[in-house]
Amino acid sequence: MDTAFPVAAHSLAAELIAVLVAVDGGSPRVLTLQDGRALPSGPFELGHRSLQSGLRAWVEEQTHHPLGYLEQLYTFADRDRTNAAGGPRVISISYLGLTREIPASGDHDPGWRNWYRYLPWEDHRAGPPGLIEHALAPRLAEWAELAPGPIAQERQQRAAITFGLNGRTWNEELVLQRYELLYEASLVAEAAAKTPVPGQAMLLDHRRILATAIARLRAKIKYRPIVFELMPPSFTLLRLQRAVEAIAGRLVHKQNFRRLIEQQELVEETGETTQDTGGRPAKLFRFRREIMAERAVAGTKLPLIRA
């Protein structure tokens, strides 16, 4: 992927960029290019009928992967977001897409990556990662202490709120705030950190765009049933639960989760079972898409387990 645009210096260019998400075996995955360093993207051209059609064309050309559910995410237009000195100012219009992971045909590698390799502090399914206590918290404390009194206190408070330090509750939706705090503290490679904290870097601000998408998805699955866009036509309730947990980076209460799914009439039995669970045959369910027309759906309301 060439991130340069063939336009005159000091002009404006529009880029379309996709965060395409799938869940595979309890692993939240994002589609990448350039050995995992970039998200699929390309310039918005005059020949594109619309922003979405342009994005679909670029993603399918670069990854051979069709797009399913798609919604506009955010527009990134900071003046210093590209590395091209004297080049065009690039505005990136980002989209969040949800799909089932499909193996590529032939020798084409679609580049699916677990998104926690980029933001490893976000996965709390097994409890708070030791990375936060042993690597992030001490370095954020050092960064805070470098500032004068009032600013140091403000930095300490921000770190505590965003990373759940000093007895604060972890908020799974503050994904972007956490990444931006690490960037401001020059602790990530994209901020030219001499010794960056763990987490694979990406080109330009693609990791920031990924963090924005994760935050949007974590918030949205709590009030809209879009998690079903990641599921196959039939699935077990355990697989559905694992998908929700993978996205949220938190465990859910099994009985409460199933009770809420049933109360909201989001699924129905297919009449079939599967033995892929390794234990007793498990019932297969399907998403009741017609419910969207029947009534407004409140969402899954994630009964998250709080530490």
Dump pLDDT digits (tens) for 180-194. Answer: 999 999 999 999 999
What average pLDDT does the segment 236-243 reach? Answer: 94
Taking residues 187-207, report their average pLDDT.
95
Q: Which of 159-163, 222-226, 230-234 has the lowest mean pLDDT?
A: 222-226
State the span(s) of the chain assigned CATH 3.90.79.10: 12-116
Q: What is the pLDDT of residues 133-147, one digit of tens each?
A: 999 999 999 999 999
Q: What is the pLDDT of residue 6?
A: 47
Buried b (16+ CB within 10 A) or exposed e, 70-85: beebbebeeeeebeee
Lowest mean pLDDT among 8-22, 82-96, 291-305: 291-305
Of the chain, the percentage scoring pLDDT greater than 70 comes to 84
CATH-assigned architecture of domain 12-116: Alpha-Beta Complex (3.90)
Task: Determine how β-strand 267-274 pairs with β-strand 41-43.
Answer: unpaired
Give the mean model confidence (pLDDT) for residues 187-212.
95
Q: Where in the chain is the domain with CATH 1.10.10.10?
A: 225-294
Output the pLDDT for position 247: 97
CATH fold of 225-294 reads: Arc Repressor Mutant, subunit A (1.10.10)
- Give the pLDDT confidence score for residue 127 in this predicted structure: 94
More confident residue, 148 or 307: 148
Encode pLDDT of 70-127 as tens digits: 899 988 877 666 655 556 778 888 999 998 865 554 444 568 999 999 999 999 999 9
pLDDT tens digits for 256-288? Answer: 999 988 888 899 999 999 877 667 889 999 999
Q: In which band, very low, low, confident or very high, does the pLDDT at 303 lie, cut at 50, 70 and 90?
A: confident
Q: What is the mean pLDDT of residues 219-239?
A: 92
Whole-prediction pTM: 0.88
Please compute the mean of the pLDDT values over residues 62-66 and round it to a whole number. 73
pLDDT band at 69 (very low <50, low <70, confident <90, very high): confident
